Chain A
Amino acid sequence: AQSVSQHNHHVILSEAASLELGCNYSYGGTVNLFWYVQYPGQHLQLLLKYFSGDPLVKGIKGFEAEFIKSKFSFNLRKPSVQWSDTAEYFCAVNRYGGSQGNLIFGKGTKLSVKP
């Protein structure tokens, strides 16, 4: 069965620190990969997505993610975090073509940024 692992449950950083959140998935076929963000009191928002092509994907608010097929990884990065990045981040995957419809989510990583 497909699964998504996010290695860090809670990350605490100071403003201007660099961020890398790990995400690994298990599925042998071609997948679509996503990062969603849930700010406190807000709904889940799409941060970025990867379907094919350039494995380095840029998203909103200065976030980027790199797909490394050999490692089944899709890590999220930001060079310099801000207090407003405090949120919970979810990595998700579905099968290429979305034939099963559902997204498989990791358990999320809470990011706390200290001002």
Chain B
Amino acid sequence: EVKLLESGGGLVQPGGSLRLSCAASGFTFSSYGMSWVRQAPGKGLQWVSGISGSGGITHYADSVKGRFFISRDNSKDTLYLQMESLRVEDAAIYYCTNEYDFWSGTPWGDHWGQGTPVTVSS
């Protein structure tokens, strides 16, 4: 069974930093690109950042470019999101999910974690 478990969310002041983790199990983690998606309270879904299976290719939404950094440790089956210079508008539930895999045909967003909440407030 595929499982994704996010952690690391919490309350942080504007300008502060936080590191989110997403522990994966039940599939060959290194074979899949992964993404972070966030959802502000009462709002829709927003793609934040993605990383290739090897970790060599990363992408970011313009709203977080230069402040957020995605990485992964395939030896630990774990995805990370280092968030710096946090703003009030970054407050949201952060989800990790898989990206589309051409070879297996696995669709984008086939599996999601339960999310970890981030609150940015003074």
The judgment on whether A and B are partners is: no
Which of B's residues lie within 8 Å of A, judged by CB? none
Q: Which residues in A have some Cβ–Cβ distance to B below 8 Å?
A: none
